[in-house]
Amino acid sequence: MQSRVTPDSPKDAAVLLKMARLAVNQAEQAETSGMRRVALEATLAAQRFLTRAERILDAKESGDYSGEQLRVRFNQLDAAIAESEERVVNSGQSWNLQLLQSAKNIRQMSYDSYQKGNYTAANEGIQVSFELLRKSLKNVPKN
């Protein structure tokens, strides 16, 4: 994918490639730490980013997201992160904390993309962040 992304490529594809690299690095760190579940989730996130970048490069997807739609989604994501932080910190499960941190990292990259007008990449990052939060909270009891 890296060889396909050129300076003339849509900016969203380059941003998604950067997000995929972050996810791969997190997967490698998690595997080194013996956190295989986190490594798998990070690998799945990287694959999702690469798939979206490929679709953009192949002109199969353009993404039609408005700034307002994304602002609403960021507000929802921030609320979900705040709730997750409360529940996950009390769970005592380190893999849940890792997934939460990954969601927060991707959220930040998504927001940076949003500010630069890369709405497709921002939207994909939001979706991946939500998915990581859901997976993190799946086995955490509600308060």
* Span 80-114, pLDDT tens digits: 999 888 888 777 778 888 889 999 999 999 999 99
Distances (CA, A) of 57 to 32, 46, 48, 61, 119: 33, 16, 14, 8, 15
For residues 46-70, give the mean pLDDT. Answer: 87
Question: Which DSSP symbol is given to 142?
Answer: P
Q: Classify residue 21: in a domain, yes or no.
A: yes
Q: Classify residue 6: in a domain, yes or no.
A: no
What pLDDT is stored for residue 76 in this prediction?
97
Q: Classify residue 5: in a domain, yes or no.
A: no
What pLDDT is stored for residue 143 in this prediction?
58
pTM of this structure? 0.88
Domain at 44, CATH number: 1.20.1260
For residues 120-126, give the mean pLDDT. Answer: 95
Segments forming the whole domain that contains residue 58: 11-137
**25-34, 39-48, 83-92: least confidently modelled range:** 83-92
Q: Classify residue 70: in a domain, yes or no.
A: yes
Q: Classify residue 143: in a domain, yes or no.
A: no
**pLDDT band, residue 60 (cuts 50/70/90):** low
Domain count, the chain: 1
Q: Classify residue 29: in a domain, yes or no.
A: yes
